[in-house]
Every structure is written in C-alpha cells, then in structure tokens.
Structure 1
Amino acid sequence: MHAIRIEKHGGPEVMRWIEMPEPSPGSGEALVRVRAAGVNYMDVGARAEGGPGWAAPAVLGVEGMGYVTAVGEGVSDLAVGDRVAWFYQPGSYAELLAAPAHSLVKVPDGIDDETAAAVMMQGLTASHLSTETYPIGPGDTALIHAAAGGVGQLLTQMVKARGGSVIGLVSREEKTPVAREAGAEHVLVHTGGGFEDRIRELTGGRGVDVVYDGGGADTFRSSQLALRPHGVHAYYGPFMGVPTLRPTDLPNSILLTYPVVHHHVATRQALVRRTSEVFALVLDGRLTPRIERRYPLADAARAHADLESRRTTGKLLLLP
C-alpha cells in the first residue's frame, strides 16, 4: 500500500508518497480501506512541529472514512464491508489503516462517503463547542472566528440549529458570502484585533454570549472585550499559540476555557452518542459540510500548502 509519511518536521516538502507493507489487523482492530481522509490544521501542526504522539518518522492524518476489509480477534461489532468513519486515528493519510475497533463508528446509509469523512473532526469539534463548552440556547449570540472555514461553517450551522444567532469573522472579503450561506447574520472582515466596538454596536452595547476563538493570539484581547459580563471565551486549537495573562486581566468577569474535543468523546459510549448526533443533523439537512477541494492522496503536500495559504474555505479531502 501507499501512504504519506514524513521523515522530519518542516514544510509541505517533507511529505513523501511512499510504499509501505500492507498492515494486518491485530487483536481488537479492524483493517479499513480508506475512501477519504480529511485535512486539518492539526495535520499541519504535526507535520511542521511535531508534538506528543507525532515524532518523525510518522504517517500523517487523523480523520477519515472507509470500508472494513478484515477484522482482528475479538472484534464482534464490525464486519467486512461495513462503512466506518473515525475522528482521531493517526496514520490516516494511507490507502489502508489498521485501527482499534472502538475508534470506528458506523456510517448511516443516508450519508455519502465524502460527507462522512468531512464531518468527523470538525463536526465533533463544533458539537463540543456548541453543547458542552457553551450550550447555545434560543436567543444567544455567538461570535465565530474563521466563520468561512471548515469548523466555522459547521459551528455556525449548529448554533443556528440550537436557536442562536451568529456574528462571523473572516479574513478576506471574498469569504463573506460563504459565512453568510452557512447562516451568519452579520459577517465582519478582520485580520487582527480591534473588532470589539463593532460587535458591541451589533449587540446593542451588550456584547456576545460566547466567542468561539480559533483566531490565535492576535485576536485574543478583542475577543474578550467583545463579550457580555460573564460571557464565555472558548479559545480552541492546539497550534495557535497561548497568550500570557493574569486572571485579573479578564474583563467583565468573563469565563475563559480551552476546550479539547477529546474530552467530548472520552469514552466509546460518548463517541457513538456524539457522532450519532452529528450524523442526525446531516440526515435532517441542518448540517451540510462544504467540501471545497479534493486531492489525490499523493498530492497531500499541495493540500497542506493550500490550507496554510488561508485562501481555502470549507473542507479539504484526500482521496486514495
């Protein structure tokens, strides 16, 4: 089989399309022929910087969808031919993947292969942000950074599905229609801070209830100043950089949290339940991922370069 592997950390040029021995499923594992692998900023960080679990050499990728081709000893709830998806399984940039059966979820018949691959990592992240991090309710207003991105679009749709309204931030004017199509009532173009006054104008001076902030350190302070008293600043994403602050720097008695999606699906039971909730939103038409680009798996370096350019909107998929 073939896979995308790095021998050292660096730019997209370190990614290599190589031939590797075909894996076989061990005890408790299933062998999956990958149909589509999702591209995420997590993959970029793992390639460029490494981090826990990502020492080179490594096969990149954490998300995808495929078909079970064999099962190992002790696997009773999966069978050859099952359509499955996963949200965090290192080594997903490959034609074949041996994965723990407990990390795989079955894909409903009404969801196509590419959609299933596109909603796992980003859909579960959006689910975590809009339910456990800050449970959006009717009348709530959320400020969403990168509202035209993969997470941003799904998060906007989830906020709307729960009765909330959305102010979206985008980095370029051409991304405005994408954020509006996802459901944002207002879209602001900003590449850094300084947007808090405009947010307060749009909310009658009150501020938003929650800021979903994947924007990084440059927007950290403005995100907090845009919140109502006791509002929630959800600062997510492991490769954004972490600003230094003292608790007394927090304005308006706001709450600051760093949500990690693994805590949303910490058990097999939680993974199945939360994924089922995401799939249900897809099936009833309230959650629709925008798949912007598809690449042959061998062109994964080009997909990374496009993602890092910040000119993409929606989901990027690799097709083995």
Structure 2
Amino acid sequence: MALKVLVTGGAGYVGSHVCKALCLRGHQVIAFDNLSTGHAELARYGRLVVGDLQDADALTALLRDESINAVVHLAGRCYPAESVRQPLIYYRDNIGHALNLFQAMADVGVRRVVFSSSCSVYGHALNATETATPEPQSPYARSKWIVEQLLSDIAGAQQWTAVALRYFNAAGADPDGELGEWHEPEPHLIPRALMAARGELPALAVHGRDYPTPDGTCIRDYCHVSDLADAHVLALEQALPAGELSVFNLGNERGYSVLDIIRAIEAELGCTVPIDWSARRPGDPAAVSASSAKARAVLGWQPRRANISEMIRTAQAFALSRQQGLKT
C-alpha cells in the first residue's frame, strides 16, 4: 500500500536520498525542512514544505491537512564534538523538537514512524548488537538514546509501529548524480579529505593519532547513503509489531581508520592528501562497530554499495558536479 510520508530533514543529505527512495517505491512524500543546514536544491523528490519543528501548531496542521500516515524523522543536530561545546542546543533541538513531532502525531492519529538514530549510542563498542547496553559518549549520542527511550514509551502507550535505525557514518552520493553531501562548512571525513586532495583545503585536519587502534586513528564503519535510504523504506514497508520500538543497526560490519580512508582516496584519485595532525576531539570514541544481522534477517536489508571506493567515487562526482551546477 502506498503511504503518504512526511520526511523531516528531507532537504538534507540523508533525507534527500530517503525521499528519492520512497518516491521510487511509489510513496507520496513531503520533505519538511527549515533549510538551516538543508538545501532546497536537494529536495528533488516529493514536495518541499519549509517549516520548523519548534512550531507545533503548524506541524499538527500539516499532518492533518495532508493526511499523512507515516513519518520518517531525520531532522536534528548531528555533530558529537559540537554537542560537547553546546549541549543545551542539542538537547533542545534533538529532544524538544522530537517531542513536538510525536505530540503532533498523537494529536492527529499518525502511528507509524521511523527515527534516524545512531550507532554512537553504543559508545566504545565493537560488533555490538541491538541488545548491547548503550554508553553514549557525547550529548549528541545521549540525545539520540533519550529520543529512543521516549519513542519506546510512546509506542507502547499509543500502539505505534515505531522503528529506530542506528547507523554509522553515511558516505557517498546518489549513483545517478542527482543528490549528495552538501554541508557548509563541511565537517565529515570523506568530503573534507577529497577537498584537501583537490587543493580546496590546505590540509586535512586529523584529530588524534594516539587512539588504541592499529594505526592510532579512529575507526568507523561507513555505509553508502543510498543503502541507508533503502533501509528507511524497508522499515516503513515491513509488517513490524505495533506497541513497541523495533531497533536495527545499519552498517557494513567493517571498520576503516582515518588513515585507511586517506589511503583509499589517494589510491582512487592518484594524488596525496596533505594531513594536519591535531589533538583528539572530545566525544569521539576510538572505535565503533556493530552487527547488522538483525536488519538483514528482519528487514531484508542488504547493502548493495559496500565498497569504500564506490563511496569515494560517488562523493567526488557529486562534489565536482555541484561546482559546475547541480545535474538537471
């Protein structure tokens, strides 16, 4: 059955890819975004409604007037180091705005939601499963964990079908070249390393070379953004139980260190990435990985773009196309 889906953060990096995946599956989509970090140019699939989650009345009216019957909630702040410096802003926006959304859903009777969570809730963890005890290391990660707990309580009381997707670093770009990563300024490793390789940055700042990892740099799992988008669609379409929060990890179950990523970019582009070594950032775990076996078994999710080289190639292609004007 086709759904009418509100995607909060729908003009952002992951959100725009989710909107495309939903539309290609025949669902109707409204991308809801305040454009503080998103871009109208990325809202190419579905209809863009510019609005803010802090406006509870307007949100309730939108859900009612558009007859929304499912929500994908991606909007929020997402930088661990920044959250250490500005915890109040992260708790206000990530938790307070989620409560506004959930209240509006309850008022209108929308009972299906997929929440964009994070594997950062695990803290320092290797091969964690969904039953592992969360140990978030930053206000960002704690805000994700708190919203999960809120959603679990609400789902139980309201008989919602609720899903939390805990995923790793989104990477790459739409293989068709229509969408990709676009932040100002750009905080993420792969696009910043590509910028340094292209000479757009004097050097790539690498935060910490004394972590307890094989090469001393942080290790993360990277997942292609289009694979993450597919998982959001599957989470909406599967007949998951009502009255509880279903939690799924999403990742490729392989960790890459910062130096691994740099070497892969150098091999792909045939150039050197200049490095500026700096101190560790607060809130950064040394290594995080988790099992995606549950998502594969229950959702039928299968990453189709797991090769790190493909993530680098598509990210580079989108960055170059954006410099020349977005693909039409």
TM-score (norm. length: structure 2):
0.36
TM-score using structure 1 length: 0.37
Higher RCO (CA < 8 A, seq sep 6+): 2
More strand by share: 1
Going by fraction, where is helix more abundant, 1 or 2? 2
